[in-house]
Amino acid sequence: MDFYDVITKRKSVRKYSGRPSDGQMSALKDFIGGIKPLYGNIGVKMILAGADKVKGKGNGAEDYLLFYSEDKPNARVNCGYILQKAEMFLQVNGIGVCWYGMGKTELPAECGYKFIIMLAFGVPEGEQFRELKDFKRKALKDTADFESEIFDIARLAPSAINIQPWRVFQDENRYHIYRAEPGFPHAILGKLIVGMNQVDMGIYLSVLEEVYAHFGKTAVFTAETAPARKGLEYIISVNK
């Protein structure tokens, strides 16, 4: 099983029967230490913590991966991109994972970075994966203005409250990727849901990169002068 396989069968695991082995935890530490960020100019820190360091836990997990970042533009997009790599790594290695957006911690990062979000994880209780037919996602035509097998698979990426904020438009050479502003009733959550949507965009880009690789292509993300679109925030562009 590889990351692509996980994309097409993953699910959020919210019940756990045990903790990862020492070997699995060691492998995770090695892996997260080697993840290349989407934005190299943003300092980040990831900390593995036990349940005693987390507030608001309700899923029974005993282990968490906390993400901290410098407070800079695109910090949350960068966060989603990086943590999604960790999420896929855990899934490939038989560990269930859940993005835990409501989790809080008072554990400070040594560098003073801002806490963004965490992953809860552990040995899953019950099935770790699901069938492709069980995904509930918008149709590709609702998120992109073109047909593409790559983008059809990438839309399986997870997102907060399953909002799926990514919108993609093409020109002659590039795909331009935007974040849709939350509509009613999610708009009433204000900055909270916007922040989560920005993390979602990073998750989507991370998944998209893996789908590109599966089809023998390299995703090259660049900032472009993309057309302004009403109700959408431009995030980044990627090669065709």
Residues 132-182: pLDDT tens digits? 888 999 999 999 999 999 999 999 999 988 999 999 999 989 999 999 987
Residues 16 and 78 in one domain: yes
Average pLDDT over residues 231-239: 97
Residue 111 in domain: yes
Residue 131 lies in a domain: no
Examine the domain organization and report whether 115 and 228 are in the same domain.
no
- 35 with 113, same domain: the answer is yes
In a domain, 65, yes or no: yes
Question: Which CATH number belongs to the domain containing residue 188 in this structure?
Answer: 3.40.109.30
Q: Is 17 in the same domain as 115?
A: yes
In a domain, 130, yes or no: no
Query: Can you give the pTM of this predicted structure?
Result: 0.94
7 or 55, which is more confident:
7
In this structure, the answer to whether residues 116 and 147 fall within a common structural domain is no
Any domain includes 76: yes
Write the secondary structure of the chain as one string of H (helix), E (strand) and C (coil).
CCHHHHHCCCCCCCCEEECCCHHHHHHHHHHHHCCCCCCCCCCEEEEEEEHHHEECCCCCCCEEEEEEECCCCCHHHHHHHHHHHHHHHHHHCCCEEEEECCCEECCCCCCCCEEEEEEEEEEECCCCCCCHHHCCCCCHHHCECCCCHHHHHHCCCCCHHHCCCEEEEECCCEEEEEEECCCCCHHHHCHHHHHHHHHHHHHHHHHHHHHHHHCCCCCCEECCCCCCCCCEEEEEEEEC
Q: Are residues 191 and 97 located together in one domain of the fold?
A: no
Residues 141 and 231 in one domain: yes
Rounded average pLDDT over 59-85: 95
- Looking at the fold, whether 103 and 158 belong to one and the same domain comes out as no
Give residue 185's domain range: 136-239
> Pick from 124, 145, 164: which residue ends a domain?
124
Is 41 inside any structural domain?
A: yes
Lowest mean pLDDT among 20-24, 60-64, 181-185, 216-220: 181-185
- What is the pLDDT at residue 182? 76
pLDDT mean across residues, the chain: 92
- 117 shares a domain with 23: yes
Same domain membership, residue 145 and residue 74: no
- The domain boundary residue, chosen from 103, 124, 145: 124
Question: 165 and 101, same structural domain?
Answer: no
Task: Read off the pLDDT of residues 173-230 as tens digits, 9 standing for 90 and up.
Answer: 999 999 998 765 555 454 555 678 999 999 999 999 999 999 999 999 999 889 999 9
Give how many domains the chain has, as a whole number. 2
